[in-house]
Amino acid sequence: MKLEVVVLAAGKGTRMRSALPKVLHLVAGKPMLSHVLESAQKLSPDHIHVVCGHGADQVREYFSHDLTINWIFQAEQMGTGHAVCQALPDISTQSTVLVLYGDIPLILPGTLQRLTDEARDGSLALLSASFDNPHGYGRVVRDPDNAICAIVEEADASSDQRKISEINTGFIAAPAEKLKDWLDAVDNNNSQGEYYLTDIVGAAACSGTPVKGVICEDILEVMGVNSRSDLAKAERNFQRREAEKLMDAGLTLDDPSRFDLRGQLEFGEDCRMDINVVVSGTVKMGKNVFVGPNSQISDSEIGDNVEIRANSIIEGAYIADHCSVGPFARLRPGTELATGARIGNFVETKNAVIGEDSKANHLAYVGDASVGQRVNIGAGVITCNYDGANKHQTKIENDAFIGSNTALVAPLTVGEGATVGAGSAVSRDVPAGQLAVTRAQQTVKDGWERPQKNKTSKGESSQ
Q: SS3 helix, strand, coil % of the chain, rounded to 5?
A: 20, 35, 45
Q: Of 376, 373, 379, whose CA–CA distance to 359 is shortest?
A: 376
Say how many C-beta atoms besides its own lie within 10 A of residue 432's C-beta: 15
**What are the domain boundaries of the chain?**
2-222, 228-436
Say how many C-beta atoms besides its own lie within 10 A of residue 389's C-beta: 5
Between CA 148 and CA 166 the distance in angstroms is 11
Low-confidence ranges of the chain (pLDDT < 50): 462-463
Give tens-digit pLDDT for 325-342: 999 999 999 999 999 999
DSSP letter at 68? T
- Residues 6 or more apart whose CB falls under 8 angstroms from that of 442 comprise none
Give tens-digit pLDDT for 7-31: 999 988 899 999 999 999 999 999 9
Q: How far apart are the first and last CA of the chain?
A: 96
Please name the fold of domain 228-436: UDP N-Acetylglucosamine Acyltransferase; domain 1 (2.160.10)
Strand partners, 72: 51
Give tens-digit pLDDT for 154-175: 888 999 999 999 999 999 999 9
* Cα distances (angstroms) measured from residue 385 to each of 349, 350, 372, 415: 12, 10, 18, 18
- Residues 6 or more apart whose CB falls under 8 angstroms from that of 300 comprise 281, 283, 284, 314, 315, 316, 317, 318, 319, 331
Report percent pLDDT > 90 for the chain.
83
Return the pLDDT at 198: 87
DSSP letter at 451? -
Strand partners, 126: 172, 213
Tell me the whole-structure pTM to 2 decimals: 0.88
- What is the separation of C-alpha 208 from the centre of its chain, rounded to a whole number of angstroms? 46
Give tens-digit pLDDT for 208-228: 899 999 999 999 999 999 999
2-222 in CATH: which number? 3.90.550.10
Residues annotated as catalytic are: 362
My answer on whether omega of the bond before 175 falls inside 30° of 0, hence cis, is: no
- Residues 6 or more apart whose CB falls under 8 angstroms from that of 272 comprise 251, 252, 253, 254, 289, 290, 291
